[in-house]
């Protein structure tokens, strides 16, 4: 299959590109910096926020391969800090990368998938797209947006032979932790002294999380399925339980559990 993956310089994207290429798929991916190239993987140096660049990349893939079978929307970033103190520039960066980047990619591949009457769109959301995480509020907002967008997209494209699958990773040990943009404003730290403890808890969990290959294998399995589920939670047993509790408990009860966990 011809697979287009965004954000393959590290983490989920890198492991997914490596695995799918080794399995014999034709893999194209985006990066924003120079990387050591993987064997048999084709690279585009583009930013998913650049709609025209994404359109050109997709056009080149279709011109060479004749089709795109799978889009894996992986590119993303995170901002940590009190919502009140996030700058408009930071908020736009968060939403434009995580959400509008997905929209740009889907807009580019959909005409070709409609024409061929098939295709899979795999979007990376997060457990944070199912529950608002303290001091990661705009990250959660971007993932909530992906959840709603994909729910509507799934219905709109159902009759066209296109499958839309949402992946919700829990804590994983990737470069995402080190690249998170964190507030350093002293006024913010003074106004929200609980922030430091909460973000330390987040980073501790991420650093001890699952390896990216776990998610890459799940993506490989989804690509092979004729009728994959609408969504998958890929996480530890504890985090899968938290998703279940979010669904079945009264909102106030679950909020207490979440507050206790993050020590806020």
- The catalytic residues are 9, 125, 139, 143
Q: How far is CA 190 from the centre of its chain?
A: 32
Rg of the chain on CA atoms, in Å: 18
CA distance 72 to 169: 14
* Nearest one of 86, 205, 105 to 146, comparing CA atoms: 105
Q: Which two tokens stand for residue 28?
A: 């194209």
Q: How far is CA 4 from the centre of its chain?
A: 14
> What is the spatial order of strands in the sheet that 231-234 belongs to?
41-45, 26-31, 2-5, 70-73, 119-124, 162-169, 231-234
Neighbour count for residue 180 (Cβ, 10 Å): 18
Q: Which residues contact 247 (CB under 8 A, 6 or more apart)?
A: none
């Amino acid at each position: 299959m011809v697979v287009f993956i965004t954000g393959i310089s590290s983490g989920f994207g890198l492991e997914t590109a490596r695995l799918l290429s080794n399995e014999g798929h034709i893999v194209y991916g985006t990066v924003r910096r120079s990387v050591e190239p993987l064997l048999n993987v084709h690279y585009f140096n583009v930013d998913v926020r650049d709609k025209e660049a994404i359109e050109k990349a997709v056009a080149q893939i279709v011109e060479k391969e004749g089709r795109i079978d799978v889009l894996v929307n992986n590119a993303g970033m995170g901002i940590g800090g009190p919502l009140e103190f996030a700058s408009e520039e930071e908020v736009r960066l968060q939403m434009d990368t995580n959400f509008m980047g997905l929209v740009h990619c889907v807009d580019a591949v959909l005409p070709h998938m409609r024409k061929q009457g098939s295709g899979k769109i795999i979007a990376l959301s997060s457990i944070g797209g199912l529950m608002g995480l303290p001091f990661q509020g705009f990250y959660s907002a971007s993932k909530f947006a992906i959840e709603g967008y994909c729910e509507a997209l799934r219905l709109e494209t159902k009759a066209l032979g296109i499958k839309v699958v949402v992946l919700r990773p829990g804590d994983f040990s990737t470069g995402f932790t080190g690249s998170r943009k964190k507030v350093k404003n002293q006024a913010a730290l003074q106004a929200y002294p609980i922030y430091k403890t909460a973000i330390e808890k987040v980073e501790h969990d991420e650093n001890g999380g699952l390896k990216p290959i776990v998610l890459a294998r799940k993506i490989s399995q989804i690509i092979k399925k004729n009728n994959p589920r609408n969504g998958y939670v890929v996480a530890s047993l504890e985090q899968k339980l938290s998703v279940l509790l979010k669904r079945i408990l009264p909102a106030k009860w679950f909020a207490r559990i979440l507050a206790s966990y993050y020590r806020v």
